Amino acid sequence: MSSLSRIPGIVTTDHFFRVPLDHGDPGGEAIKVYAREVVAAGRENDELPWLLYLQGGPGGKANRPLGRDGWLDRALDDHRVLLLDQRGTGRSTPATRQTLARRGDARRQADYLAHFRADSIVRDAELIRRQLLGEDGKWSLLGQSFGGFCTLTYLSLAPEGLREAFVTGGLAGLRRSADEVYRAAYPRVARKNAGHYARFPQDVAAVRRIAAHLIERPAALPDGGELTVQAFQALGMMLGSGTGSYVLHYLLEEAWVEGPDGPELSDTFLAGAQAHLSFAMGPLYAVLHESIYGQRSVDAGATDWSAERVRKEFPEFDAAAALAGDGPVLFTGEMIYPWMFETDPSLRPLRETAQLLAERTDWPDLYDTQRLASNQVPVYAAVYHDDMYVDTAHSLETADSVAALRTWITNEWEHDGVRVSGRRVLDRLMRMARGEI
């Protein structure tokens, strides 16, 4: 089934595909995967090469275009673009607290979600490629963040389907366990905190005041969630984007109002915090986050809430200890903690499911290092210097391990560079591919 829509500057076509839940059992249960085809207006009938876009995440649906905006504007100069809602997201068969409840108990839910990692996403993409392009057709690939992780899996499992690949902020460590990922992450997050407080020194006192209040009295959020001091610290997720430090500062500016009994946290602040902390729009991000690092040949054990365990090695992130002294309270970053499944109403019904996934062992490998070492598909990767979300050293280590891969290392952009730069980041990579740089 497909339907066509016209938006200024573009023409879109909806596509729905039936794919196996488990690609190892093609005759078993099937799920639906949605993708939106986008082409420049007036070029609907042109023979254009295809570009598949894989969004960040895990659990992120593809962007919804409003026209020829951002990186899509550059892509549409040369390509017919396919925006994939990765399994479980967007208009694909959804995986949320509401839909997962229909599957039965937490064990059944966890077993179901074990099929929602990068290897399954890539196999979905290959089925779709063959349907749209034919058995021998090849397409280009753009992977942002987790989409870049999926790109490395694609190069490992099915490089024959790719003409070329572009990666932005998504060169994963091929042989790095979850614990190694987080041991590298906490110092990066601390540096982003230092940068924020250098930019807004008044926020040191503002954050300490809010943190001290929340330790004594956690606040109720409008959706029924709870703003604890740890949840407040999790607003540091914003510090990895180009404008996140400013957004955080402006949120803190409006934290307090005078209520009938004195100062209290404002509804404006609480609603703003909820908007950044709630996983209602993307629960798979939380539920599957640490599983994206699981590989049996790297670590046959469980991820076991790695971010929570490793955090204990970095006492500077202890808010109570910071308040006992006179230093700043540090925000955390792209970490998922078990307490989130208590404070967030959209995650509470998935607590046991998430625990079972955290305990799961023997995750299949996602990357074939031997195949990547002899890769022949041209790959062009933007590596952001001191990227808060993906470790630069791990990315460069991977770049050295993948044949036919060229990097562009830049400190002009943060992790969201391809989104906020307009045409510029993708144009640079495409110029590299055309031999212009």
The catalytic site residues sit at 145, 362, 415
What token pair was written down for 127? 């089925």
- Give the DSSP letter of residue 346: T
Identify any residues that bridge with 226 across adjacent strands, giving them in sequence order. 220
Name every residue whose Cβ is closer than 8 Å to that of residue 104 and which is 6 or more positions away in sequence: none
What is the crossing angle of helices 146-157 and 118-133, to 10°? 70
- Angle at CA of residue 46, ends 432 and 130, nearest 5°: 75
What token pair was written down for 341? 């499944």
Strands of 299-372 (E only): list them: none
| Number of Cβ atoms within 10 Å of the Cβ of 169 | 29
Name every residue whose Cβ is closer than 8 Å to that of residue 230 and which is 6 or more positions away in sequence: 319, 332, 337, 339
Tokens 């950044």 locate to 276
What token pair was written down for 138? 């090849």
Contact 384, 169 (CB under 8 A): yes
Strands of 246-389 (E only): list them: 256-259, 262-265, 379-384
Burial of 15 (0-12, 13-18, 19+ CB in 10 A): middle
Amino acid at 131: Q
Identify any residues that bridge with 380 across adjacent strands, giving them in sequence order. 166, 406
Print the SS3 string covering 365-409.
CCCCHHHHHCCCCCEEEEEECCCCCCCHHHHHHHHHHCCCEEEEE
Q: Which helix (DSSP H) or strand (DSSP E) does residue 231 occupy?
A: helix 229-233
Name every residue whose Cβ is closer than 8 Å to that of residue 262 and which is 6 or more positions away in sequence: none
Burial of 29 (0-12, 13-18, 19+ CB in 10 A): exposed
What token pair was written down for 373? 């070492």
What token pair was written down for 411? 């400190």
